Structure 1
Amino acid sequence: MRRIIAIAGALVLLLSGCQSDKKPAPAPVATGNLCERMLPKLAGTWKVTAALPSALAPMADSCKLTDTEAPQHMVRVSLSILPVSAAEAVRLRKVTEENFRSGHVAAKVMDGGLGEGSWTLDPVAAAPQLGFRTADRLVLIRGDSAYGSAYRSDRSTLAELRDMAKAITELPNGLPIAAPIVDPPHCAPGLAAAEKALGTKAVLRRGGTVDGTTYCQWGSATDTVLIRGGGSTSDQAGIFRQYPAPPAKAVKVGDLGWQETNGYVTYRVAKTYVDVFTTRDGQAPAVLELGRAMVVSYRR
């Protein structure tokens, strides 16, 4: 009997030792794009939707968060595809300041408080913006709406963007890594002209359709080229209808087209309205060439 009790006691000790050695299962972490990874850490109720690409350089992948309780309250999140150095972040902040100054934005670019090159912009009428660098990638967060960032939701605040930035820097599984090249067939006709506009190989490529607008984007380490086409209710249609307007000149592209002195092209092909532009200066001929090359993809 004593032997049986001793064996039973030994088994209890053995089992309890095994249990103490067992480590708790790690908590599940979010995957997917940056908005999807942020979602579990955000206050409020949000849903993730697709976003058209940002026209800014460096080229970035974008997504959108929409407040389910106030659908006009949106936040756009953009993450650079390639790493960005601290020195490059500082340079991009200066470019941002120059762009806002030339656009007569009634607000001053301020330090973002999130490391070298970070910045904030908080206009009274337009949506707030916050740019910063984390894990060697550049992140841009800005208030958004169905009418773009020029509209400011009553709920859109810089404090909210700072909370979102904190969530991004504390993501348990880090930032998403995206393939540099996503190259759908409808973008193929424009590749050669896009590389001419970039002045180098397009090491970054994207394309797709979001909310009825079909786009292609090509990028180098420092510049991007973007073409977008939509129907009669799209932003591109609204822009096209503002022409003719000096100093833009009529150009032969699609059924009717116009080009600004900075190279920006807007044109119509059948029932599709298209615009083309690049962040690289002095590329008006190449931008027009790209618009012509892509007519075949937009004539539908």
Structure 2
Amino acid sequence: MKRQLALLAALLLAAALFANGKTTPAAPTVRLNSGYEMPVLGLGTWTLDAQTAEESVYTALKNGYRLIDTARYYHNEQGVGKGVRRAISDGLVTREDVFVTTKIWGAYAPEKAIEDANAALGLGYIDLLLIHQPSSDDRAMYTAMEKAVRAGTVRSIGISNYYTKKQFDEIMGIATIVPAVIQNENHPFYQNEELQDYVKKWGVYVESYYPLGGRGHTQDLFGNRTIAKIAAAHGKSSAQILLRWHVQSGYIAIPGSSNARHIAENISIFDFALSKPEMEQIRALHTGKRYETW
């Protein structure tokens, strides 16, 4: 009976998604300090080539995703843009429905990097532009991003891979526009609550990359007894439990995938909730282990 009810729910969701040809957003949004709405769950595209990124983005938008994450460093912005434009052309979404993030880094002249990112995406503007990692060029990059906001080619700005209060304070010493988002590695094994609590004072949202654990190491969390036990109790996958933990914790999460089944599964987390004890059990898994070393 439980599986039958789950199947019925899935069918009803599928019907809603494709009603009148346009898909229905599957994730709620939060209002950034820039005034724009950002979905709390999206698709990451790190390691995807341009063609795979195009197909994955299109699949994600069909399944109700509205947040897509890319970067100059990924070399797949053109594919991401094509996937979004195809979904727009097919009537699944409008440009205003979709929130696209990209990132620049210190190896390029920032004004040119922003111009090239907009051209590669081909979507008219960038919803969220991040500095990909700290560097000696932070002042020039952040100033260029603020200029792009004033010009209307970028809507919101932020930072990524800044893990200390000192690094954040250095940006705040530059900023005339407060960062809207800080995107860092974040998962139950690595939570960095000190920094997260600190940036919230400025209304900065924490966005989790590697929300399921490091790429190639997801089984570390999927196979964790605590996660597996909670997943069994809810009739959900370990990935769904982890992503639900992120959104209930107030994070924005961007799991990456090119697998159509996983893409659909990852966003199917808004029909249940974790209890307070379950949230605390997952939070207690923190070990300080990071998989990425920027």
Structure 1 and Structure 2 fold alike (TM over 0.5)? no
Instruction: Point out the structure with the larger strand share.
Output: 1
Q: Which has the larger radius of gyration?
A: 1
TM-score, normalised with respect to structure 2? 0.29
Larger RCO, structure (CA 8 Å, separation 6 or more): 2
TM-score normalised by the chain length of structure 1: 0.29
